[in-house]
Structure 1
Amino acid sequence: MRVLIVDDDRFTLRLLTRQLTQLGVDGVLACESASAALTLIDGQIDSVDVLFCDLNMPGMDGVEFLRHLSRHGYRGGLVLISGEDVRVLDSVRRLASARQLQVLGTLRKPVALESIRALLQPAAAGAARAEPEFRKRYEAAELRQGVRQGQLVNHYQPKVAFSDARVVGVETLVRWAHAQDGLVFPDQFIAAAESGGVIEELTDAVLHVALRDTRSWNESGLDLRCAINVSMDNLVALDFPDRVAGAAARAGVPIAQLVLEVTESQLMHDTLSLLDIVSRLRLKRIGLSIDDFGTGFSSLAQLRDIPFDELKLDRSFVRGAGENAELLAILRANLGMARQLGLRSVAEGVETAGDWACLRDLGCDVAQGYFIARPMPADRLPEWMAEWEARRTHLVNRS
């Protein structure tokens, strides 16, 4: 393993070099500045497996250095070191991850030997050298053809109540069964649907299948609220509430079982039309959820102006909140606000027993995430619910 340390403090350089040698690393390079490090690795950036980088350096600081690493296509592991406040470290970690840099972790000075050992284990196993997965993007014309040929497939992720762990609903997650590329996920085609004018056809297709599946579950005795993601682009057509209500009536599904989850991925300029449409949706007793709350353009202004009846906490605030005082404070504040406004609260991204216990103790209403189940085809849901019943009993008894 080849490790590069970048730090303007000579004592820290010597200490880290000695610690890495103790851990069996025999290829340690050290630079006292970011510019010197860039010169050293110019043309051979792929030869560095792990890079330890101080943030607060004179001249080129660590943040600027990370920008250059990203532009050079660095694919090794990255360890951020600083004596700065933990919030600064966390902010830079998020920035590095957004720049497609593989952050192994953050360390505060003085650095402990065992902390270094724990961070180097994934790199030693080769995880830090993994190539990023290629994500193909699709054009609107190809997507439109796929929609019209019936290639969209709905999967459903269960939602359960924290109070008794009973299944109370599902979120509809669309997939594209592409003829050549297999199952394609929405992050690869939703942007094309919105920009290319396909989103209305796509939403209608997803809604049609979701209502058909909901009716099937109703007939088998499963009473579940079915949530469907809609774009802000859907909420510009004044006939949208009538189209949704008409589709539910034709499917024989009670309108109150429908929830529309809205993620504001772009600013909405025609606020009068938006208020017209969402108010009519709520008058028809269609649920309205503000998705990914706290990210993008979602804000307190939306809660003030739009008659949502559900607030979904974004996964970035949920995962690991029990061990993070700042996330815990954000969740506590948002859940308190939801209760005061009479909104149902849903936590997405519940991935561990710790996440479950944390959100349950904070008084969240509904959980969704891999701790409960991954998205699944409609015909798999009844079988999964039978399996969940055993886990449900255990969770309730343990709490």
Structure 2
Amino acid sequence: MVVLAREGHFARRTAAELARLGVARQAHAATLGAATSAVLEDETDMVVAEIHSDYSDGLMLPSALKALNASGRLKLVPHVLWTGDGAPAEPANGAAQEWRDMLNGVSMTALASHARLARTAGIQVQIVRESGIGALQAGLERLLDAVRPPAPVRRSEPDHSPAEDDVIAALTSGEGLRVVFQPQYDLASRAVVGAEVLIRWQHARYGEVPPAVLIPMVNRLGLDLLLFSYIEKRAIETLLALDKAGIEIPLAVNASAKTICTPGLAERLAGKMKRAGLPAQRLKIELTEEFTSVDELTLSASLTALRARGIQVSLDDFGAGSATLALLSQMPFDEMKIDGTLVRAVALTPASREIIAGTVTLARLFNLRLVIEGIEDESTIALLCELGCRVGQGYALARPMESSDFLGNAAVLRRLDVSRATL
């Protein structure tokens, strides 16, 4: 066990209490760097970290452990126990509530929120406010029952991934590429109201290549427009198949700001939709968050041109990265999508529920449709409905589907809707 604390009474008292609890192997670290060195040198079960307003090393510890674990350098991921040097006498100035909400000058609310983030990242954290051996023992016992994240297996050889030439060959030939469809549902009726078109790449040697690997390579090579053209073509083909089946739902295609700002894009897409005999509003373009290097004036003009041609525009990943309120207020959009990280926390934290409820109000204020991403369990659906959310997508509703499965599923749901309408 490692005690991360400044030199002084707290460090000595904590070491003595751990010894009385039978912890024979313990080390003291006065800095975050010394603590990380200690856990790298020897397998460490736990780190007891001092919390104080003028000593931030304990707060930074979960981030450091997360990075070490991700690098594969830890054999064992330590648990973390945050505590302080004991509560001072209650102030006489009437600020009792304020005193109760602090741990050595650090907000208990902020600590609890930070601990939740750490647990989400795989680092188990407990907070012990009271001093004394009993409280310390209780905190340690709670951590003993906590599940540790698996430490990544370190490979003797570096990971292999597709080369840039492989990406170029795939995009120019289409070999190994395909699209899948993640349906979007009306959360109350469970009717399919749209779908997002997603790219998949099956490499001959490396198998299924994740989009998180493919997309950065495409952007780095400047092939984003080529990839967009491939997906857009498949989306229009699928819209024609849906139209033939009497299913009038839109399909959404992701695009970077660089792609959206391509000269003549709005005219080209509108022309393709017209030649296919499809209303332009059946095609939706989702602006991804990687747009910081694009001139805002050019982006605004390009979004306006798409909407002028009848093509819908959606702001993806609102609540994460660069998808900010400033962008929403300055640019023209038809729709916004709430990022899945907020959605996954909605059942866990009141703050997440308040943010989503506020976003629902914001969407109404801006006259935007709202889509909820990343819905992963059934209980979340009911909670989102209570908050005023109407449309969503995620694994709790449906995983991304191959083209044939999506068309079959949409046709079945269409027949169910028709049957309900005639009852």
The two structures have a TM-score, normalised by structure 2, of: 0.76
- Aligned pair in 2 of structure 1 residues 16, 27: CA closer, same or farther (>3 Å)? closer
Gap change, CA 1:195 and 1:357, over 3 Å in 2: same
Partners in 1 of 2:409 and 2:14 — Cα distance?
Answer: 53
Aligned with 1:206: secondary structure? helix
How far, CA to CA, are the matches of 1:374 and 1:14 in structure 2? 53
Task: Write out aligned runs for 1:291-310 (5 A).
Answer: 291-310=316-335
Aligned equivalents of 1:222, 1:354: Cα separation in 2: 29
Give 1:328's aligned residue.
353
Give the greater-gyration-radius structure (CA).
2
Matching residue's letter, 2:41: G
- Alignment equivalent of 2:123, drawn from 75, 89, 103: 103
Give the AA of the match of 2:57.
Answer: D
Compute the displacement of 1:148 (Å): 1.4
Question: Are residues 324 and 14 of structure 1, via their aligned partners in 2, closer, same or farther at CA, if it must alter by over 3 Å?
Answer: farther
The range that moved more, 84-93 or 247-256, is: 84-93
1:145 and 2:169 equivalent?
yes
Question: Which residues of structure 1 form unaligned runs of 5+?
Answer: 393-399
1:86 to 96, 109, 115: 109
Partner of residue 88, structure 2: none
1:348 aligns with 2:373: yes
Secondary structure of 1:103's aligned partner: coil
What's the % identity of the aligned pairs?
Answer: 25
Q: Match of 1:189, as an amino acid?
A: L
Deviations 1:126-182 (A, max 9, x none): 743353899765554431211112132111111111232211011111111212111
For residues 254 and 119 of structure 1, the distance between their equivalents in structure 2, rounded to whole angstroms, comes to: 58
Q: CA RMSD in A?
A: 3.6
Residue 147 to residue 5, structure 1, CA distance change in 2 (3 Å): same
Q: How does 1:360-371 map to 2 (within 5 A)?
A: 360-371=385-396
Unaligned runs of 5+ in 2: 84-102, 418-423
Q: After alignment, is 132-141 or 288-297 more displaced?
A: 132-141
Letter in 1 for 2:238: D
Q: 1:366-377 counterparts in 2 under 5 A?
A: 366-377=391-402
Partner of 1:129: 151
- Give the deviation of 1:201 after TM superposition: 0.3
Residue type of the alignment partner of 2:310: R
Supply the distance in 2 between the matched residues of 1:211 and 1:275 (Cα, whole angstroms). Answer: 25
CA drift of 1:58 comes to 7.6
| CA spacing shift, 1:78–1:212, aligned 2, 3 Å | farther
CA deviations on 1:172-211 (whole Å, 9 max, x unpaired) are 1111121211111211021221221100000000111122
**TM-score computed with the length of structure 1 as normaliser:** 0.80
Over 3 Å counting, the alpha-carbon distance change for 1:257 and 1:18 in structure 2 is farther
Aligned residues: 377
Query: Does the 8 A contact of 2:375 with 2:393 survive in 1?
Result: yes
Tell whether 2:242 aligns with 1:217.
yes
Q: Which amino acid aligns with 2:74?
A: Y
Matches within 5 A, 1:1-399: 6=4, 8=10, 29=26, 31=28, 33-34=30-31, 37-38=35-36, 40-44=38-42, 47-48=43-44, 51=47, 53-56=49-52, 61-65=57-61, 69=65, 70=67, 73-74=73-74, 76-80=76-80, 81-82=82-83, 83=103, 84=106, 85-91=108-114, 94=117, 102-110=122-130, 120-121=144-145, 123=147, 127-131=149-153, 138-150=162-174, 151-384=176-409
> Is contact 2:184-2:194 (8 Å) kept?
yes
Instruction: Tell whether the 8 Å contact from 1:53 to 1:78 is kept in structure 2 after alignment.
Output: no
Instruction: Tell me if structure 1 keeps the 8 A contact 2:162–2:206.
Output: no
Name the CA distance, whole Å, in 2 between partners of 1:292 and 1:266. 12
Residue by residue over 1:206-255, the C-alpha shift from the partner in whole angstroms, topping out at 9 and shown as x without a partner, is 11112212222222333321111001110221211122223323444332
Q: Secondary structure at the match of 2:254?
A: strand
CA shift, 1:363, in A, is: 0.8
SS in 2 for 1:128: coil
Greater displacement, 210-219 / 62-71: 62-71
Q: Distance in 1 between matches of 2:275 and 2:291?
A: 32
Give the distance between the partners of 1:9 and 1:313, measured in 2 at CA: 45
2:399 is paired with a residue of what secondary structure?
A: coil
Q: 2:169 is aligned with what amino acid?
A: Q
Q: Deviations over 1:19-64 (max 9, x none)?
A: 8x8xxxx9964546456645544533xx335555455498771245
Between 271-280 and 288-297, report the one with greater CA deviation: 271-280
Structure 2 distance, partners of 1:264, 1:131, is 32
Deviation sequence 1:93-128 (CA, Å, 0-9, x none): 64797xxx73134445356978766654564xx743
Shift of 1:370: 1.1
Q: 3-state DSSP class of the match of 2:123?
A: strand
Matched residues in 2 for 1:323 and 1:96: separation?
A: 12
Question: In the aligned structure 2, how far is the partner of 1:339 from the partner of 1:265?
Answer: 26
